[in-house]
């Protein structure tokens, strides 16, 4: 039996190497937040716990639940 090759994956955005698809998925959230920050010109609902900003109170509420468990 041939040894199975390493299943490492590379982030297409920053090139960092992660050990599997699941880690890549978690890592990509970093870039999702960075993108949201870059498009914040029309965002007016700022998070009280981090620099994230959102266009609607619903998005802010979702962010609180997902990112801060509130
Ligand atoms: Zn990356
Ligand atoms: Zn936040």
Q: Tell me: the pLDDT tens digits for 3-22?
A: 666 689 988 888 888 999 99
Q: Tell me: the pLDDT tens digits for 19-39?
A: 999 999 988 888 886 665 555
Ligand found nearest the CA of 64: 2
Dist CA 70 CA 48 (whole Å): 11
Cα three-residue angle 50-63-31, rounded to 5 degrees: 70
Taking the CA atoms of residue 48, residue 51, residue 55 and residue 58 in that order, the dihedral angle to the nearest 10 degrees is -40
Dist CA 57 CA 36 (whole Å): 15
Ligand found nearest the CA of 24: 1
Q: How far is the CA of 20 from the centre of ligand 1 (A)?
A: 13
- The average pLDDT across 35-64 equals 77
Q: How far is the CA of 10 from the centre of ligand 1 (A)?
A: 8
Q: Which pLDDT value is given to residue 40?
A: 46
Ligand found nearest the CA of 15: 1
């Amino acid at each position: 039996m041939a040894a199975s090759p390493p299943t490492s994956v590379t982030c297409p955005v920053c090139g960092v190497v992660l050990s599997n698809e699941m880690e890549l998925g978690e890592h990509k959230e970093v870039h999702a937040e960075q993108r949201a920050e870059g498009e914040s010109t029309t965002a007016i609902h700022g998070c009280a716990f981090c620099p994230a900003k959102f266009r609607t109170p619903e998005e802010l509420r979702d962010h609180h639940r997902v990112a801060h468990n509130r």
